Amino acid sequence: MPYYFQTLEEMERSPVPIACHATDYAPGSSTGTHRHPFHHQLIYAVHGVMLVASDGGQWIVPPTRGIWMPAGTEHQVRHIGEVRMRSLFVRPHAAPSLAEQAQVVGISPLLRELIHAAMQINIPYEADSRDGRLMRLLLDELQVLPVLPMHLPSPADPRLQRICSHIQRKPEDQATLDDWARYFEVDPKTLQRLFLRDTGMGFARWRQQARLLQALERLAQGQRVIDVALALGYDSPGAFATMFRRQFGQTPSGFFR
């Protein structure tokens, strides 16, 4: 029978440049906050949706997508529904040009099949062998992962933190940047400048992104498109679907197929 790592501790001790680890999680469970000091990680679920959080923000990761987590990054993964996770662990020296920031990435059909094949490889493997060449092809595929817009950055300014926390609690609230500026008694341009500085997005773009991520989470839980659209403050399911398609190139109902 093929052998792969039974525990993350065993994986951390291994000298192989890239390896796989399989873990299944119950609905609503969490990994808790942790980090992998010696490995980059590609977190990928063949089934289920993951909500990933770190100091840099939050990401929603549905099937056919993955999240790249650089070595040493503290993070936790919450599992929406049953999740069957297949992770790649990569020694930094094996691919020094890989991304140094966490990001959601697309998983191509080729990469998906390579991950499946890698789960059948005995550990350790010889570098100059079929298994070794397959693992090197995996490394090549990691170099060209497409980055997807599923990140919600966290601001540092306390006023922006209050605004963003409110939006996440009440995404249907239609308060404008001018409304928040009056609340904090500052110029709207000041708040917009702070949003751009702290998150790389303007206020409207950040709010749209927050609503998008909540929409993905709600859709993954099986909520109807019309209910999600109204809960997030859209005038109609059509307006919500148009925004969703503009961001992801698919309708909400087709995204999880």
Tens digit of each residue's pLDDT (9 = 90 or more) over 149-191:
778 888 999 999 999 999 999 999 999 999 999 999 999 999 9
Whether the per-residue pLDDT at 3 is higher than 70: the answer is: no
Determine the pLDDT at residue 75.
Answer: 95
Percent of the chain whose predicted confidence (pLDDT) is above 90: 50
Average pLDDT over residues 96-120: 90
- The model's pLDDT over 212-239, given as tens digits with 9 standing for 90+, comes to 888 888 887 788 999 999 999 888 889 9
**What pLDDT, on the 0 to 100 scale, is given for residue 8?**
61
Going by C-alpha positions, the residue among 1, 36, 41 that lies closest to residue 18 is: 41
Q: Give me the helix-helix angle, 109-118 and 130-142, nearest 10°.
A: 140
As to burial, measured by CB atoms within 10 angstroms (0-12 exposed, 13-18 middle, 19+ buried), residue 122 is exposed
| Higher pLDDT, residue 172 or 16 | 172
pLDDT band at 147 (very low <50, low <70, confident <90, very high): confident
Q: Could you tell me the pLDDT band of residue 1, with boundaries at 50, 70 and 90? A: very low
Domains in the chain, please, with CATH?
A: 8-142 (2.60.120.280), 154-255 (1.10.10.60)
Comparison of pLDDT for 178 and 247, the residue scoring more: 178
Average pLDDT, the chain: 88
% of the chain exceeding 70 in pLDDT:
94
- Number of other residues whose CB lies within 10 A of the CB of residue 100: 13
Which amino acid, 45?
Answer: A
Q: Strand pairing of 103-106 and 75-90?
A: unpaired
Do residues 99 and 133 make contact, with C-beta atoms less than 8 angstroms apart? Answer: no
Torsions phi, psi for 187 (to 5 deg): -75, 140
Please count the other Cβ atoms lying within 10 Å of the Cβ belonging to residue 3.
Answer: 10
Alpha-carbon dihedral of residues 223, 63, 44, 202, nearest 10 degrees?
-70
CB-based contact 44:86 (threshold 8 Å): yes
Q: How far apart are CA 136 and CA 96, in angstroms?
A: 14
Q: How far is residue 236's CA from residue 214's CA, in Å, rounded to a whole number? A: 17
Three-class SS of residue 113? helix
**pLDDT grade for 122, boundaries at 50, 70 and 90:** confident
HSE-CB for 153 with a 13 A CA cutoff: 20
Closest to 134 measured CA to CA, from 145, 144, 123: 123
Give pLDDT, residue 192: 96
Helix, strand, coil percent content, the chain, rounded in steps of 5: 40, 25, 35
